[in-house]
Amino acid sequence: MRTYLDHLTVERGLAANTLSSYRRDLRRYAEFLAQNDVDSLSGVSEATVSAFLAHLREGSEDHPALSATSAARTVVAVRGFHKFAVADGMVEANPAGHVKPPRAEKRLPKALPLADVEAILEAAGAPGTPLALRDRALLEVLYGTGARISEAVGLDVDDLDRVDHVALLRGKGGKERIVPVGSYAIEAVEAYLTRARPDLVAARSGGALFLNARGGRLSRQSAWTVLTRAAERAGIDKDVSPHTLRHSFATHLLDGGADVRVVQELLGHASVTTTQIYTLVTVDNLREVFATAHPRAL
C-alpha cells in the first residue's frame, strides 16, 4: 500500500488532503484484511471486498458506520489500489473491479439567507482587534469569492490584486483559477493588511495572507473555528461550516440571475453537473415565491 501511495504522490500528483483520505481508507482496509486472516493480495476475493463494503456501512466498536458518500470514496481507494497491484505485476486479477460503491444520496447544499451571512460577517469583525480584522477579511473572502477553505487559507498576499479586484486561487489537483473579488472583501482585506497583519507578522510568515497569532499561516481548522464562533456570536443556530459560505455564494448568484456555467467557473468545478445541484435549491425558492405570490397557485 505504501508503494501505491507513493505512486499517487509522485505520478498522479494528488493533493495532500486527498492523499490523507486515501491513506486513512487503505489503513482501515488493511485492518479489515488482517482481522479476517487475509495476509496477501492473492488471498483477496471479490467476496472479501464486498464484505469490507458491508463492514463500512455497518460500522464497528472501533469505527462508526460510514455514510454512502464516505463508503463510496473508500471503495474507490480500494479499487484503485487493486488496479495498481495488477498493473505493477503483484497479482493477476483485480478482485475489486466489479464491486460497485454505494450510490451516494444527492443532498441539496445548505445555503444561508443573505441576512444570516451579513450577520456572521458583522460579528466576525465586531471587536476591532487585529485578529477580528483578520477574521472579517477571511470570511468576506470566503463568501465574496466562493473559495474552498483550503484555497482561502492558501492565499498569499501577492495572490490578491487589490487594484483589479481579482484573486488567484489554487484548487483541487493544483488547478489555478482567477476569480473576481467584491468591494466588501477588498475593503476588509485592506483594513486587515494595514491595521492587523503588521502586528501578526513574524519571520515564519512568508507571503501568507492570513496569519495566526504566532505569525504562521492560518490552518483550515483554525479558519473553521473563526466561522463557527462568528456564527455563534451572530445568534445563528444552524450548522455552519466554511462550505456553507461557498454554497451560499453559489445559490445567491443563481438567485440573482447568474448563468450556471459562470458559477461553475467561479467555483472551479470540472463539470457543470456538479454545479447544477445548486439550481435545485433556487427552483425550490421559485416554487415558494410562486406559491405565495400567484393568485391561482394554490
Range from 10-24, 89-103, 183-197, 227-241 carrying the lowest mean pLDDT: 10-24
Cα–Cα distance for residue pair 172/152, rounded to 1 Å: 13
Structural class in CATH, domain 114-291:
mainly alpha
pTM, rounded to two decimals = 0.63
Q: How many other C-beta atoms are found inside a 10 Å radius of the C-beta of residue 211?
A: 23
Question: Catalytic pick from 110, 162, 165, 172?
Answer: 172
| C-alpha to C-alpha distance for 157 and 167, rounded to whole angstroms | 10
CATH superfamily placement of domain 2-87: Tyrosine recombinase, N-terminal domain (1.10.150.130)
Q: Where does 171-219 show beta strands of DSSP type E?
A: 176-180
Whether 172 sits among the annotated catalytic residues: the reply is yes
User: Which of 73, 136, 197, 246 is the catalytic position?
Assistant: 246
pLDDT at 231: 95
The answer to whether residue 238 scores a pLDDT higher than 90 is no
Q: Is 243 a catalytic residue?
A: yes
pLDDT, tens digit, 9 for 90 and up, residues 120-179? 999 998 888 999 999 999 999 999 999 999 999 999 999 999 999 999 999 877 788 999
Q: Give the start-to-end residue ranges of the domains of the chain.
A: 2-87, 114-291
Checking if the pLDDT of 116 tops 70, the result is: yes
- Quote the pLDDT of residue 114: 93
Task: Give CB contacts under 8 A, 24+ apart, made by 228-234.
Answer: 230/120, 230/121, 230/123, 230/124, 230/135, 230/139, 231/120, 231/123, 233/123, 233/124, 233/126, 234/116, 234/119, 234/120, 234/122, 234/123
Q: Quote the crossing angle between the two packed helices 220-233 and 114-124, to the nearest 10°.
A: 110
Q: 150 — phi, psi (to 5°)?
A: -65, -35
What distance in Å separates the CA atoms of residue 99 and residue 30, rounded to the nearest whole number? 17
Query: Which of 28, 73, 148, 197 is flagged as catalytic?
Result: 148
Q: What is the DSSP string of 38-65?
A: --SGGG--HHHHHHHHHHHHH--SSSPP
Structure confidence at residue 172 (pLDDT): 76
Residue 232 banded pLDDT, cuts 50, 70, 90: very high
User: What is the overall mean pLDDT for the chain?
Assistant: 85
Name the nearest CA neighbour of 98 among 118, 113, 119, 83.
Answer: 83
pLDDT for the residue numbered 196: 95
In the annotation, is 278 catalytic?
Answer: yes
269 is catalytic: yes
238 is catalytic: no
Section 108-127 average pLDDT: 88
Of the candidates 223, 263, 249, which has an alpha carbon nearest to the alpha carbon of residue 114?
249
Among 4, 29, 192, 278, the active-site one is: 278
